[in-house]
Structure 1
């Protein structure tokens, strides 16, 4: 799909040193009415998937330290897929998901750019109930609670996709809808541990950003 320009970013997270292809800026837009209408993506939001957001960097740093324990892992709204790529580099059982028409292309390109096997990918609109993809012991997301409908949609996805014993990790830059999501998660038996984190260089406490860690035991 022509009509956009890209750049390559240097990424250094712990022992991982690699590169990531991203859209050059937030004004990049490849017009395709049939695709954008079918996916519900406006021209104003089209380029958001192709940026490296602070929440994704924070989540990548978190998953770099996770104990994998043979968990089946799913990243929701992966965008460029940095956390998924870090987990692939670590040898995890990771599946990435998004609904943007170019997410898989960028994810595959970035895996090859870092000499990694392709990350398994699911086209997963949050408004649709997924079927026959099994359950996951760990579900991840970065800055995925920014719209009014997101808490209910994501809570429904967790209900369908989370294993009886599961953890959900979300890096959130202080979105107001996080409390609504936390209440829905509590109804599913998840306990919340919330940690304040700096998302931007130079931030001082008290930080707006949070690592939301939801845990449920069977």
Structure 2
């Protein structure tokens, strides 16, 4: 037994059915060797990676609707990685990343569960540079601005790994750091726009957070 329980979750994105293995609930916890704790993941935070949160669902729908043409894409804090799986299904050049020690095996399992090849994955701590990760044309993230200081951390990761003409997509449910993050991005010469992205056609309960798209260089026109 792994020390935690899971359940299967069925979703539909753009008419395409998805089945995901997620943690049974937010009470799950298993860190017998202290690996998560050494990475800075507390017992209260441990289970957060293992759910599909509203902002993550919206990002997945946004990626389904987006058009990319060979751009190299990075997802930050992927958790279950639904947006990355959607991009993998579209044969995009996607690299998923997270700090949680179980993000990679869950991502691999869910790719196989949906008859997809394994995704490229890198474990990434936002406070530790990883030069071998390289740079990307598009960086995406959902609900990553969740605590004081997170805007600075995510901004720094983007500064290290975004090409000069990159675009950045962030779905944010309104945890209070988005304005700070946008100011930091503007200091990097990104323009920002808030775009509408319903979770499905005819949805009667639209997402109440923001879908923020930032553009710089030749991608700047996307956000003007």
TM-score, normalised relative to structure 1 = 0.94
Aligned to 1:184: 184
Q: Are the structure 2 counterparts of residues 209 and 196 from structure 1 closer, same or farther at C-alpha, using a change threshold of 3 Å?
A: farther
TM superposition shift of 1:132: 2.1
Structure 2 Cα separation of the partners of residues 138 and 208 of structure 1: 24
Aligned to 1:79: 79
TM superposition shift of 1:195: 3.0
TM superposition shift of 1:198: 6.4
TM superposition shift of 1:203: 3.8
Q: How many residues align?
A: 216
Q: Which runs of 4+ in 1 moved over 6 A?
A: none
Task: Write out per-residue CA displacement over residues 97-153 of structure 1, whole angstroms, 9 at most, x where no aligned residue.
Answer: 000010001000000000100110010011111212221010000100001121011
Paired residues of 1:197 and 1:208 also in contact (CA < 8 A)? no
TM superposition shift of 1:33: 4.6
Paired residues of 2:23 and 2:51 also in contact (CA < 8 A)? yes
Aligned to 2:171: 171
- Segments of structure 2 that go 5 or more residues without pairing to the other structure are 219-224
Structure 1 counterpart SS, 2:131: coil
TM superposition shift of 1:197: 5.8
> Is 1:138 aligned with 2:154?
no
> Is 1:153 aligned with 2:153?
yes
Structure 2 Cα separation of the partners of residues 197 and 12 of structure 1: 15
Q: Are the structure 2 counterparts of residues 82 and 176 from structure 1 closer, same or farther at C-alpha, using a change threshold of 3 Å?
A: same
Root-mean-square deviation (Å): 1.8
Paired residues of 1:16 and 1:86 also in contact (CA < 8 A)? no
Structure 2 counterpart SS, 1:141: strand
- Segments of structure 1 that go 5 or more residues without pairing to the other structure are none
Task: Summarize the alignment of residues 1-218 of structure 1 with structure 2, pairs less than 5 Å apart.
Answer: 2-195=2-195, 203=205, 208-217=208-217
Structure 1 counterpart SS, 2:35: helix
Structure 2 Cα separation of the partners of residues 129 and 3 of structure 1: 31
Structure 2 Cα separation of the partners of residues 7 and 208 of structure 1: 27
Paired residues of 1:196 and 1:209 also in contact (CA < 8 A)? no
Paired residues of 1:196 and 1:208 also in contact (CA < 8 A)? no
Task: Write out per-residue CA displacement over residues 21-61 of structure 1, whole angstroms, 9 at most, x where no aligned residue.
Answer: 00000001113252022111111110000011011110000
